[in-house]
Amino acid sequence: MATNKNEHLDNVLESHHMKHVQSLMDKYIIKGNEVKQALIENYSDKKATDPINSGSYAKHTAINTKFDIDICIPFKRESFDTLEEMADNVFTYFQKEYKDDELLKPVRKQRVSIGLTFNIGGDEIELDIVPGREINKDEYSNTHDLKLYVRAKNETPASETKTNIKTHIEHISGKNAERDIAKLLKIWKACNNKKYKSFLIELITIKAFEDNSGNVPDGIWDKLEMTMKFIKDKIESIQLKDPANSNNVVSETMTSGKKKSLANDMSNMLRKIEANSDNIKTYFPINAEFHSDDNNGNRKEDAGPTILKTRTFG
């Protein structure tokens, strides 16, 4: 019997929902709040505001097979002379001064963040701390604009970039269908070991819906198919700009070879799923740990209210 693609994708999303890892997320939430409080106390005279959530958790695009928590700490314009000094100061704080027996060393210097890993009751909890500095003195509360320090990587020199966490969250806020398709593509990435940036996937998914405005199909498979065709046809030529920084063309961070590879991935999936609907299970697998064959797709012991409704991270 052919696979019902819409039913299957609904089950995929349900099985990858964050509510199924409530106890693990509780650990993230508690540790995240501890780290936020430590940042507040250590940088009381330098912060422009209290630390805020960013990334997939804040945008509600996280999936339970691969996730972490991003925390952005906005600093005042005069807090540090340079962005590099800001980034190094936060790294040094966590590497040498922050006291927590659950913190695993080494603390990691990443492109725009400081990577922290905690061992909490046998679970490894990862937090990324993103330091940012307001662009103009005393304007952060109005603009929410920040400058980030981008560390050198391979032959790419160090640089800086503008961002706006509030704009990133609002860009996908209320776009429930787009969010579901972006999550499905993230599930594909995670389960098939694909290394494309999630932010780019989110941007091109939103763009696919915008370009098909008025003609967006009803079923979730049809929406996913529409988006996959759009990526296949457009990824090698489209310009995808960061909604918080028009000078940051996110699509240009991909090499031509990487773009061609993504187009080929979409083409191959579309062709093979059309040839045999069962192939959708390979590309978009159900998380078997949190799925049963009953009508609602939940294991009874995992059923319950969602994290986002029952706990506040911030």
Shared domain for 41 and 144, answered yes or no, is: yes
- The two beta strands, 69-75 and 52-54, are antiparallel
Task: State pLDDT tens for residues 65-87.
Answer: 877 889 999 999 999 999 999 99
Rounded distance between C-alpha atoms, residue 170 and residue 255, angstroms: 28
Q: Residue 16: pLDDT above 80? A: yes
The residues that bridge with 104 in the sheet, in sequence order, are 117
Identify whether 74 is part of a domain.
yes
How confident is the model over 118-127, as a mean pLDDT?
95
The CATH number of the domain holding residue 68 is 3.30.460.10
Q: What percent of the chain lies above the pLDDT cut of 90? A: 88
Q: How many domains does the chain have?
A: 2
Q: Are 203 and 277 part of one and the same domain? A: yes
Asked if omega into 217 is within 30° of 0 (cis), the reply is no
Residue 148 forms part of a structural domain: yes
- pLDDT band for 293, please (50, 70, 90 cuts): low
Per-residue pLDDT reduced to its tens digit, 4-15: 999 999 999 999
pLDDT at 301 over 70: no
State the average pLDDT over residues 81-101.
Answer: 97
The torsion of the CA quartet 151, 156, 159, 161, rounded to 10 degrees, works out to -90
Within this chain, do residues 39 and 114 fall inside the same structural domain, yes or no? yes
Instruction: Tell me the residue range of the domain where 237 lies.
Output: 174-283
Residue 13 lies in a domain: no
Residue with tokens 């093979």: 272
pLDDT of 202-255, one tens digit each?
A: 999 999 999 999 999 999 999 999 999 999 999 999 999 999 999 999 999 999
Distance (Å, rounded) from C-alpha 158 to C-alpha 223? 39
Across the strands, what pairs with 161? 148
Q: Chain centroid to CA 188: how far?
A: 14
What's the pLDDT at 294? 52
308 located within any domain? yes
pTM (2 decimals)? Answer: 0.88
The verdict on 160 and 181 lying in the same domain is no
